[in-house]
Amino acid sequence: DAEITQSPRHKITETGRQVTLACHQTWNHNNMFWYRQDLGHGLRLIHYSYGVQDTNKGEVSDGYSVSRSNTEDLPLTLESAASSQTSVYFCASSELGSNEQFFGPGTRLTVL
């Protein structure tokens, strides 16, 4: 069955380290998204991509970057992790032209 996976599911890192969170989908969806979830804020969009080589900043993109070298993957990189980036991160994907997104299981990141 087609699916969307995230790895790792849990990660503890130290301030200043570079961290990469993986997102892989097997639906062949054009669109992919990264969100962070924090208490009182719901989910906020970090970055998104509407196809290979396309990436765009969302509302909370500072300190994060993404790259899209193929349809299946959209890794999220924290260049220099900060304690403020402790959060749960969700990846999502959608078909071109579709108004519905499908979510991965999430990655809980703790920055000490």
Q: Is 70 in the site for another protein (CB under 8 A)?
A: no
Q: How far apart are CA 80 and CA 104, in angstroms?
A: 24
Q: Which of 1, 40, 53, 70 binds another protein (CB under 8 A)?
A: 40
Smallest gap from Cβ 53 to another protein, in A, equals 15
- What is the C-alpha separation between 101 and 92, in angstroms, rounded? 6
Torsion 92-98-100-102 (CA) sign: negative
53 binds another protein (CB under 8 A): no
Nearer to another protein, 72 or 102 (CB): 102
Q: Is 100 in the site for another protein (CB under 8 A)?
A: yes
Measured CA to CA, the distance from residue 66 to residue 49 in angstroms comes to 9
Residues numbered 9 to 28 that lie near another protein (CB under 8 A) are none
Decide: is 5 part of the binding site for another protein (CB under 8 A): no
Q: Closer CB to another protein, residue 16 or residue 105?
A: 105
User: Which of 80, 72, 68 is CA-nearest to residue 18?
Assistant: 80
CA–CA–CA angle 5, 52, 47 (5° rounding): 65
> Contact positions toward another protein, by CB under 8 A?
31, 33, 35, 40-45, 48, 50, 90, 92, 94, 96-101, 103-106
